[in-house]
Structure 1
Amino acid sequence: MKIPLTAHGREDRMYWIHDKKGTYSVRSGYKLVMADSFKHSHTTIESFWNKIWRYKILAKVRNLIWRASLNVLPTTDQLRAKRVDVDSHCPVCLMHEESVLHVFVPCEFAEKVWETVGVASSPLLAANFKDSLTATLKNHHQDQEIIAMLCWVIWMNRNETVLNTKSFTVLKVVTIAKNFLQQWQDANQPPSKPAANSNRPELVKWKPPTTSSLKLNIDAAIFEDQGKAGLGLVIRND
């Protein structure tokens, strides 16, 4: 009722608030859809990073997951894209072209690692490592930290193969990941509080004696340099 109305008697009309002139156009509609899509995408990405940074794992493991999710690890496809003359085949399986996604998911060695720990992955449905990891972490919520640790050891095995021509067994990868995670968690446990019924001696406080009785407090000291001793007594009633 408080809205001021025009005195010219104009009729109401449709007005598109996302355009300065109030007229709808495909261009303004497209901009609105893309803006909403960006907000949703930005929220999803931010949620993903928040989960990664909250994991109770080694900082270098979180760093590896961050780099792999951004697709900036020095895999052969990345090196060749930067004009580095290297063999494009995966140095671990020697069958397919190496990419960040391939190293951690569809590589035959990585597949055996995930099978050993009972983690299922869907590489055909993922466009990149981040999408694959997001789906895997969602399906295995209780195993998120060991999954991140396994990624780190899988990458460690890849580097050992490239740099030192040595490789781990699948069982060794799983064992290293579990041991590292357990050791880190044990080292970062908060100190436990002493139990209420512990055997620590309680502090003794002075109390007055009961009625019709006396209490004697006594203390003594020896002064060796003077060859003397001292004695003090205090007697108190209730």
Structure 2
Amino acid sequence: MILWGIWNRRNEKLREAKDAQPQISVNNTLQFFNKWCHARHQAGHTLTHHEQHRNERWTKPMAEFLKCNIDIAIFKVINNNGLNYVIRRSSRVTQS
């Protein structure tokens, strides 16, 4: 969802000359994500976090693909956040 938000903000800047601070872009993306989750909940399509990941095992991508794993942390008490990602090929790892 964060990658979608970055891509969407880029398109708005290129097409409509809209510019926003990164924190505004992240907040807008998180609001969109919350609305999406709410819509899924209303439609009865929710699983708990535990149920979603209970039997999930990471597998490397096929040779012609990349796989991106993302983690984000928001620390409201100190008004800070962090984002980390790992992009993997089937044979190499590139990490931020």
TM-score by length of 1: 0.17
Q: Larger % of helix: which?
A: 1
Q: Larger % of strand: which?
A: 2
**Larger of the two Rg values belongs to structure:** 1
TM-score by length of 2: 0.40
Highest RCO, 1 vs 2 (Cα 8 Å, sep ≥ 6): 2
